Structures are given as C-alpha cells and as structure tokens.
Structure 1
Amino acid sequence: MALSTISLLLFALFLAIFHLIIVPLKGALVRLRANYNPKGLQLDPEDGVQPHTGPVITSFFVMLSRARRLEGWSGLYKGLMPTLLLSLVLAFFSALFLDASLSGQRNHGAYSPPTSGIWSTLIYSIFLMLVSLPALIVTYRSITTPYRLPYLGPFYSLRVLLTPTELRKPWVLYLTPGLLAAEILYICYVVIGLRALRGLLLPSLSQSDDSQPRDFSPRSFIIYLAISLFSTVILCPLEVISTRLAVQRNHDSAEFNSVAQEEVGDAEDLPEYSPAEDVIGLRNEKDPYLGLVDCAKRIIDEEGWRALYRGWWLTMLFGVFGAFT
C-alpha cells in the first residue's frame, strides 16, 4: 500500500515537471505551424484583394519569444488542461487495460505501447489516436485562440473552441477533412516502416524482455539512424498538415467562419491575451482546406514549400529519440 502511494506520488511529480517544461514548447511549435503566412495577396470577406498583414515568423524560438512577450507566462501555458487530462487518461488506460505499471522499470512513470508485434502495435496506436483525436483538436485550438479560457470551465471553453455544428455533432471532429488520413499515415509510417526496419536491422533494440542482447552491428545502427533522420522529410509535413487541419473548424455551411461565430457566441465576454496584436494569423475558413492533399498543395502554393518544414529539427530530434526507445 505504501509502495503504491509512493508510486502514484512519483508519477504525479513526473507528470507535473514534464508538463511544466513541455507545454510552452509544444505551444510555440503549434503556433509556428498554424501561423498562416501567404507570400502574396489574399481575398477579403467582400472578395476584394488585400495584402496579408499577419506576423511573418518562421523560427521556433522567435515564436516562443513572441508568445511570451504578447501573452505573458499564462499564454505560454495555454492548452495545459487538455494536455494534462489527455496524459492522465492515456496513462491510466495503459495501466488498467495493458497491465503497464506507472512506475515500472520500462515505463519510468510513463506509458508505452505493447511490444508483441508490428500489427498489434499498429492497432493499438490507431486506437489510441482515435481516442485522443478530439483532445488533440481541442488542445491545438486552445493554444491558438486569442481568448483567455478558464482553467476550470471545460464546458464553457468547449463552447468557445468548437462550432455549434461540432457541439451538436461531436463525431464531426473525426470528419475534419484530411485530419484522420494524416494521422493514420503518420502512424503507419512510424510503426510499419521505422519499427519494422528497427526490428530487422537492430533486433537487440527491439527486445521487450531483459534477456541478453543479440549482436549489435554498428553498420546497421548507422543505416537505421540515417533512415530515421531522412524520415523527417516525410513526417514533418504530415505534422504541419495535421496542425493546420486541427485548428480549422467544421461548419454546416461554408458561409460561416470561426471569427464570425465567436463574435456572436460565448467568446464575446472573454478578455483577450493581446487585444492590440495577435500572436499568429489563421487562414480564413471561408476558403477551407478540403483534405490532406489539398492542404499540402495550398500551403506550397500560398506560403512556399518551406512552410511544410516548420520545426523540422524538433521532428528529427524526437523522431530519433523515439526510434531507440
């Protein structure tokens, strides 16, 4: 009983420290990738032509500094509550249904997918993605919203972040054009591609038990490391596209956009973090992305191919780290 209490306390401490560090960094990355920065002119709501006046930011650290300057420390922790709740749900889901100890030697206070095989890992990962997809959408929108949402008012916050259509029909979140496809492609590449390749080239790293490791080949390690680094070329655009599609809200009619609905909804009484200047600019939802391919094509046409690689070094860093854990 005492050991169990200590384990829970250690897990709570780990979770608090983890989110204290990761939430501001994640927030800056989401803002950077969601920021709409077209190269040329755009149409205004009356179909006139006007130059884009949003912030031109292409650096992660510049975005982090800008968010701190305009929104303060509280702005850096936007998205904390949905991120924390999702972490708790996934952790206890793993503990209850996957027999994963919160303080086990392999978990170090976290949760991990099953290691019984590629296909079981794929099914688990897709199921976990489906469970967490609405939370991901809410988290990304809470990070990019200009409004000060209450930490302990989840239902009020949802009325601000979601459209009336999404509140009436929550399953519409799964039908966000291209988002589900982008997430599944990402998972399939990581699980079927990288994990299968790791099992082939580096079987000693794929062992799930504590038995004696098999022979380790430096040549195979270098090959796998190079492929993991190159995977950034594929994974980073999928992450950018997922971010853009997650913050794009769903409406019954394309005649309505998020700003118009927020102005007549519950957000009208909420204070803004930075009333004088927005941290980022979002794309007008009157002309939404129609899917994964359409999103990629429009980003390239409107903002240039470099926009698909915002934060690429973070994708590479976490990709290589995850490849060997």
Structure 2
Amino acid sequence: MSSILDILAVTGMIAASLAVSVPLTGALVRLRANFNPKSIQLDAEGNVEPHTGPVVTSFFGMLARVKRIEGWSGLYKGLMPMLLETSLLSIFVLVALDSSAMRYGGRIPSTGILGRLAYATVALILNLPAVVVTYRAITTPYRLPYFRPIYSLRILLTPTERRRPWMIYTAPGLFAAQFLHLVYKVIFVGSLKAFLLPSSEEPGDKPLLNASPVAIGVMIAIGLLSTVILCPLEVIASKLAIQRNHAAPEYNSVSQEVEEDGITPEEYVEYAGAEEDVIGLRHEKDPYLGLVDCAKRVIDEEGLRALYRAWWLTAFISLGNALA
C-alpha cells in the first residue's frame, strides 16, 4: 500500500511540475535560441542588410508571443520528451537510489568530488540526447503529435542523425558547453559548498542553520556571481542543441539535411492562421563551428547582452543550488 501511495505521490508531483515548467522552459529555450542580430548587418558583398525577423528581448515577452502565435498547444511543445525523461529518472531514483541521488541540475550524491563528477558525467551522457530532442521540439515550427514518436523524430532529426545517433555527441561545441556547465557546478560550487556548509549524515540535517553568517554570505555571492559563467554556457547550449547534423559532402557537416524525408509536416502558423514564426534562426548553411566560435559569433552578430538573456533565471537557480 505504501509503495502504491509513493508512486501516486511521485506521479502527482511530476504532473504538477510539468504543468508549470514546460511553458516556462519553452519560453526560455526560444528566447535564448532566437537569432536577433543587430539592426544593421552587411551581406557577403558588403551591402547593408536590415534584419527582418522577430525581435524579442524579454522572457515574458516571448511567453506572450508563443501564446499569441501558437496558442496553448504551443506553450506545451516539448511536453512528451520532458515527461519521458522525468518519468524514467524518477523511476530510476525510486528503484535504484535513495532520495538524495538526483540528476545533474539538482543535488548530486555526496560521494566526494570524483564520485559526484562521475555520476554527473554519466547523467550528462544519458541526458544529452533528451536535451537535443526537447529543444528541437520546442523550437520547431511544425506540429508534433503527442503519441507518434517515430513521426516526430523524423521531423526533429535528420536522416543522418537517425542512422548515426552518436553524431549528437559530436555536434560542434554542445557536449563541451554542457560539460563545462556541469564541471563548474560540481567541482567549484559543489566543493566550496561542502567546505563552507558541511552536512552530517543525520536525517533532517540543515547545514544553513549551523553555518556562520560569513559562510552563508560567501555562498550567496558565489551563487549570484556564477551567473556570469553559467548563463553564457546555457545560451550557447540552446543554440547548439537545435543545430542539426548531416553528412551531405557538398554542404558543411552541421548544416540542414538536404535530402527529402518523405513527409510534409503541418506548421503551427497554418493551424493558428498566423503569418509569422515565433523565433528566427541563423541560416543552417552557415552554422556555428564550436563553443568558442558560437560565443564569438553571438557577440559579433547579436551583441554581448545576447549571452545573458534571462540571466535573472540563471541567478535564481544558481542561488538556490548554492544554498540547497
């Protein structure tokens, strides 16, 4: 009876969490992935070329734009991959681990630096394909059926990616961006937290209640200053995750797949009667070539502020992780 109640409780928490987090995550991913270049650009011949795509610079502005153009269904794009990932992780935690074992992004088992890094790295390897599929599901202009995963994957992944799924791990810069994000949180912030806010093995132990004001102040400062490092990595990861891979020799290896895939997906704009896309993307025949290249191009094309879109969300989460 107790196990059934546990399952029901976990199910309820997952449903409530996704009901709130999916629209917010969708708006955040779209905002950070949106290509919003400076008002004046030069084309290949040096002529002035004004930007004609959507200009959205705020989180809540993007949330409202999604609702206006794609409706409620658009707000919940990415629901199924997020639900699948969350459910599998919750089952794994319930069956194989204790409640302190959480994935990268939350608490990581206190098994020393190397142990926590190893656990988080494995979680990253398992999580990376889910990130790619989820981010692409959020940003695609096409309608994805909830219960036709094969059809959806044919839209989200190129033929080359489906034939060789390991290409997701070799996508320029993506694994590096996610790994650096992880290492900073696990090695630097995690180690500093373990030193300043040590916890005992006693149930209900609350390190914050036993810590000195100086230690708490240092962790608050670290949590806020971490935004300077973590937010650009998150923006870069968002842009790189939606960049599709293909192997057509006449095109760059990370451009859009050229061959026809035999399907004609329905666009949201056709369904909603809108004449504009929610976000704009860079041309796929001129892709980012890696983490550093992506950072440089974002600064050159969109400005430094583009690397800090929705920085306050990163600051809030970093502060919570530093004190949790």
TM-score (norm 1): 0.89
- Residue 212 of structure 1 and its aligned partner are, at CA, apart by 6.2
- Contact 2:244-2:257 within 8 A present in 1 as well: no
- Residue 111 of structure 1 and its aligned partner are, at CA, apart by 8.2
Which residue matches 2:26?
27
SS at the partner of 1:41?
A: strand
The structure 2 residue matched to 1:270, chosen from 259, 266, 271, is 266
SS at the partner of 1:200?
A: helix
Which residue matches 1:255?
251
Is the alpha carbon distance of 1:269 and 1:220 closer, same or farther for their aligned partners in structure 2, counting shifts above 3 Å? closer
Which residue matches 1:15?
14
The structure 2 residue matched to 1:176, chosen from 157, 171, 177, is 171
- Residue 276 of structure 1 and its aligned partner are, at CA, apart by 1.1
Which residue matches 1:220?
215
Q: What does 1:134-145 align with in structure 2 at a 5 Å threshold?
A: 134-145=129-140
Which residue matches 1:210?
203
- Contact 2:159-2:261 within 8 A present in 1 as well: no
Alpha-carbon distance in 2 for matches of 1:62, 1:127:
36
Is the alpha carbon distance of 1:220 and 1:71 closer, same or farther for their aligned partners in structure 2, counting shifts above 3 Å? same
Alpha-carbon distance in 1 for matches of 2:268, 2:159:
21
- Contact 2:155-2:265 within 8 A present in 1 as well: no
Letter in 2 for 1:100: D
Letter in 1 for 2:228: V
Which residue matches 1:297?
296
- Residue 208 of structure 1 and its aligned partner are, at CA, apart by 4.4
Show CA shifts across 1:49-106 (max 9, x none). 7432111111000000000000000000000000010011112222333x225xx9x9
Show CA shifts across 1:180-225 (max 9, x none). 011110110001000101111222xx43432766742001110111
Which residue matches 2:229?
234
Alpha-carbon distance in 2 for matches of 1:259, 1:70:
27
Show CA shifts across 1:3-42 (max 9, x none). 1101100110010000000000000000000000111326
Alpha-carbon distance in 2 for matches of 1:213, 1:87:
27
Alpha-carbon distance in 2 for matches of 1:81, 1:212:
36
Alpha-carbon distance in 1 for matches of 2:317, 2:106:
17
Is residue 94 of structure 2 the alignment partner of residue 95 of structure 1?
Answer: yes
- Contact 1:42-1:52 within 8 A present in 2 as well: no
Alpha-carbon distance in 1 for matches of 2:47, 2:145:
37
Alpha-carbon distance in 2 for matches of 1:75, 1:213:
41
- Residue 267 of structure 1 and its aligned partner are, at CA, apart by 4.9
Which residue matches 1:307?
306
- Contact 1:43-1:50 within 8 A present in 2 as well: yes
TM-score (norm 2): 0.90
Is residue 238 of structure 2 the alignment partner of residue 243 of structure 1?
Answer: yes
- Residue 294 of structure 1 and its aligned partner are, at CA, apart by 0.4
Unaligned runs of 5+ in 2: none
Is the alpha carbon distance of 1:85 and 1:47 closer, same or farther for their aligned partners in structure 2, counting shifts above 3 Å? farther
Is residue 149 of structure 2 the alignment partner of residue 154 of structure 1?
Answer: yes
SS at the partner of 2:247?
A: coil
- Contact 1:159-1:266 within 8 A present in 2 as well: no
Q: What does 1:270-289 align with in structure 2 at a 5 Å threshold?
A: 270-273=266-269, 276-289=275-288
Letter in 2 for 1:125: A
Alpha-carbon distance in 1 for matches of 2:322, 2:27:
24
Aligned-residue sequence identity (percent) comes to: 51
Which residue matches 2:162?
167
Which residue matches 2:192?
197
Which residue matches 2:111?
116
RMSD: 2.4
